[in-house]
Amino acid sequence: MFGFVVIQFYRPDRTNLPVVQAETLEATTQVSENVAAILKRSCSDCHSNETIYPWYSNISPFSWLLADHIEEGRRELNYSVWNTYSAKKKRHKFEEICEQITSGEMPHNQYLWLHADAQLSEEDKKIVCDWAETEKAKIADLN
């Protein structure tokens, strides 16, 4: 019990980095309200600088696991810095978005344990994949 109390004093940083609107996904990509709602509900906590930290992020060691997931998620894909990516990287990320959600790898299963509303329906997956394919084609047409 003493160890559990002691580790509560060692918490990861939960500060969201500032969002520069010109660098966001929405700055250069057409995102319908429907797609935006799906991304916000199921992706943004780990894939943006606008994480909403849940109650359990205050409890170690859960806070450490959560911080690790968020750091990894932002490193892989961060909608808040989307416009800093090269055209090639953007096209690749659009491919990965669809691959990850259709395979069931995303949203992460551990996230879904406490965020059941983040579960993607087959319709949600189709909407996001269709959007990603359309936006990817727009980038490809520019080069």
What does the pLDDT profile of the chain (143 residues) look like in tens digits? 765 555 566 665 777 889 999 999 999 899 999 999 999 999 999 999 999 988 777 777 787 788 888 999 999 999 999 999 999 999 999 999 999 999 999 998 988 988 899 999 999 999 999 999 999 999 865 54
State the residue for tokens 């909407």.
127
In this prediction the pTM is 0.86
Q: Which H or E run contains 132?
A: helix 122-142
Q: What are the Cα distances from residue 120, in Å, to 54, 112, 124?
A: 20, 10, 6
